[in-house]
Structure 1
Amino acid sequence: MMILLGMFSVQAAANDGWSSYKSRFMAADGRIKDTANNNVSHTEGQGFAMLLAVDNNDRQSFDRLWQWTRSHLSNAQNGLFYWRYNPDASDPIVDKNNASDGDVLIAWALLRAGEKWNVADYLKQSDKIQRSIVSRNVTTFGGYSVMLPGAQGFNKTSYVVLNPSYFLFPAWRDFARRSHLKVWNQLIEDGFTLLGKMNNFGRSALPLDWVALNADGSLAPAIAWPPRFSYDAIRIPLYIWWYDPQSLRLVPFQHYWAGYSRLQTPAWINVSNNEAAPYNMDGGLLAVRDLTMGDTAQLSSSLDAQENYYSASLRLLVWSAWQSRQAN
């Protein structure tokens, strides 16, 4: 009886967190609002929420999320999705580019939903998106297979720009299992190799939000962004952990964060000059730290009253990653 009550409590906590998330960030039509960014929407947010709907066995919400995404963000020209939607603009989609992490998240959520609820159309749509990602976003450069952040603007001829937080290892693994295409396993292998090569950017040995991969295979901070391990790169240890909680690629994050007490850990660091953020991790960022450090007693799906969309998404994704391991 105590075991059953414990299981019920965990499930109730998960559902409460998901219910709070929906009430705060999901419009009635299935659009996810980025509350820290003028309530615009992104494929990232749609993908996050679709994954969370699957994990919370909420097919009704999943269908609303998917239908809004499909209706408003689909790019018929390339089989991918417009990355940003501004509801207040005369043209809500000014930038016609995609964001490959959003595309991967959507395809991954459809794959997981199709398998969970036995819906063939979800699987068919996921397969189509996967093929478009490979066709439009995956390339070989500098001796590595990489997924560019978008179909346009990131191949500079002499180098390509990468966002390591788009290295969605657990999704790529599921795509490999589904399609049997070697490209997904190659992306995993080369992605981990590239993360290892980022250890020499600075004393912290941490990767950056944005990186340039040169034609000779060397890496450098991308010039258009601050050389920080920050709000993008915080997803890297989450995706590594979700792929393999024992991965040695988690060690640099563990070593760096071990130098700070839990509630005094800077929210970001400039890896070139070691300048740290003047404020500390909280919310979803702290949840990623807790997961990576093995401090799982701190994990929860309960959202703070003032938590914004991104922090709440990270917190619930961490919870999903953790719960998926407990179920295995």
Structure 2
Amino acid sequence: MGALLLNSMLMAETWACGSPSWEYWQTFRDHFVTQDGRVIDPIDPAKMITTSEGQSYALFFSLAANDQETFAKMATWTENNLSAGHFEQHLPGWLWGHMADGSWGLMDDNSATDADLWIAYSLAEAARLWNVPEYLVKSEELQHQILSKESVGVEGLGNELIPGAVGFHSSDHVWRFNPSYLPPQVLRYFSSNYPGSAWVNLEKNSLQLLETVSPFGLAPDWVEFDTKKQAFTADTTTGDQGSYNAIRVYLWVGMLPRNDPQWASLQDHFSAIARFISPDGNVPEVTYPLKGTVTGNGPVGFSSAVVPLLQAEGKEATLEILKFQNLVTPSVSNSYYNWVLTLFAEGFNNGIFSFSKTGSLIPDWSCVSH
């Protein structure tokens, strides 16, 4: 794994027909996924935490890799341990691990909407691609929970997805949002497959929110909407800042297909990040979306995350800087988040997967036995 990371991602050729494996997924699985299907984030060795986010991303990667065995284990572990065995009754709790009393279990049973969206999406697409109807049943159970517990009507905005079931309505007139929790292709998938449902307005309103809260094309981590002022404002807790959450906005937008109805608008808007990549190829660690300024150098995952967007926009000069930057694959010791950002970007850019204009997953399985 000593090859240059971004050089690999930007190869002109995609993986050859009949490729037996996705190397980056195999490495991630071998280092972060347990035999029973739990994704461990080693950031805290004492707690050995698992998040619903980690489960959701790994479910997607295993689907893209045609790894049915690992997918089945992770789907079962997620429902049994994060949703008390029942997606139809409980949203997944976002944090599970080793607790102070020595037991293992949910450390925080509040939900994380982005994870719930990706889990529901991956289950639905697994049902279609692998012909396993049970997965669609579970997806629709989880979709029902999302729509009933993580979707709210906000005066002046309409129906919106809040980041979790509890804790994002700080007063009777202030709502809190996380733009990176709104992957356009996933929302497009649900609105396309369930026409006439609440998903249609949720997709439309979410896309509008993405652009509105980033006037200079720089996405915030968190933002608030004040219904009395009828305006978005900087988040009370984090301030005017975009960093480890917001980096995913550029990644999601970069993976949209060119025939997506919002592709041109979103690509043009968020490609502003290219202006702030340093001459030696460093992507900013922190942006200030309301000021249009940046500071610091982000980790390797940040550089990975912006490649699909820059590739689509034809930012050749910037791409060449990133391509030849002396970056290696993320360390497997403690960089779970760098790995997931890299897996999305590397898999997309090397043709392991793509998305249709209706959000469906297009995996590179045409010549792989399944």
For the superposition of Structure 1 and Structure 2, which TM-score range results when normalised by the shorter chain?
A: 0.7 to 0.9
The CA distance in 2 between the partners of 1:242 and 1:134, in whole Å, is: 25
The CA distance in 2 between the partners of 1:160 and 1:13, in whole Å, is: 47
Q: Give the aligned partner of residue 180 of structure 2.
A: 165
Does the 8 A contact of 2:163 with 2:181 survive in 1?
A: yes
The CA distance in 2 between the partners of 1:172 and 1:33, in whole Å, is: 27
Q: Does 1:147 align with 2:161?
A: yes
Q: Give the aligned partner of residue 22 of structure 2.
A: 15
Cα deviation, residue 276, structure 1: 3.7
The CA distance in 2 between the partners of 1:8 and 1:228, in whole Å, is: 37
- SS, match of residue 209 in structure 1: coil
Q: Which amino acid aligns with 1:41?
A: T
Alignment partner for residue 84 of structure 1, among 91, 95, 104? 95
User: Higher relative CO (CA 8 A, sep ≥ 6), structure 1 or 2?
Assistant: 2
The CA distance in 1 between the partners of 2:14 and 2:266, in whole Å, is: 32
The CA distance in 2 between the partners of 1:187 and 1:262, in whole Å, is: 40
Q: Give the aligned partner of residue 218 of structure 2.
A: 206
- In structure 2, the CA distance between the partners of 1:14 and 1:258, relative to structure 1 (3 Å rule), is farther
Q: How many residues align?
A: 317
Q: Does 1:179 align with 2:217?
A: no
The CA distance in 2 between the partners of 1:130 and 1:213, in whole Å, is: 25
Q: Give deviations 1:95-153, integer Å, cap 9, x for gaps.
A: 22111111111111101111110000000000110011001111110332210111111
- SS, match of residue 264 in structure 1: coil
Alignment of 1:43-122 (within 5 A): 43-75=52-84, 76=86, 78-90=89-101, 92-122=105-135
After alignment, is 68-77 or 95-104 more displaced?
Answer: 68-77
Name the % identity. 23
The CA distance in 2 between the partners of 1:262 and 1:34, in whole Å, is: 30
* CA RMSD, Structure 1 to Structure 2 (Å): 2.7
Unaligned 5+ segments in structure 1 are 1-5
Cα deviation, residue 293, structure 1: 0.9
Q: Give the aligned partner of residue 130 of structure 1.
A: 143
Q: Give the aligned partner of residue 5 of structure 2.
A: none
The CA distance in 2 between the partners of 1:281 and 1:12, in whole Å, is: 32
Q: Give the aligned partner of residue 247 of structure 1.
A: 264
Q: Give the aligned partner of residue 286 of structure 2.
A: 268
The CA distance in 2 between the partners of 1:276 and 1:107, in whole Å, is: 35
The CA distance in 1 between the partners of 2:167 and 2:298, in whole Å, is: 32
Q: Does 1:238 align with 2:251?
A: yes
TM-score (norm 2): 0.77
Q: Give the aligned partner of residue 3 of structure 1.
A: none
The CA distance in 2 between the partners of 1:253 and 1:230, in whole Å, is: 14
The CA distance in 2 between the partners of 1:40 and 1:114, in whole Å, is: 28
The CA distance in 1 between the partners of 2:21 and 2:177, in whole Å, is: 33
- SS, match of residue 30 in structure 1: coil
The CA distance in 2 between the partners of 1:234 and 1:122, in whole Å, is: 30
The CA distance in 1 between the partners of 2:246 and 2:299, in whole Å, is: 15
TM-score (norm 1): 0.87
Alignment of 1:242-321 (within 5 A): 242-245=255-258, 246-260=263-277, 261=279, 263-272=281-290, 276-278=294-296, 280-294=297-311, 303-306=329-332, 308-321=335-348
Does the 8 A contact of 1:74 with 1:80 survive in 2?
A: yes
Q: Give deviations 1:45-89, integer Å, cap 9, x for gaps.
A: 000000000000000000111111111100558431111002344
Does the 8 A contact of 1:17 with 1:303 survive in 2?
A: no
- SS, match of residue 78 in structure 2: helix
Does the 8 A contact of 2:276 with 2:294 survive in 1?
A: no
After alignment, is 65-74 or 187-196 more displaced?
Answer: 187-196
Does the 8 A contact of 1:142 with 1:214 survive in 2?
A: no
- SS, match of residue 38 in structure 2: coil
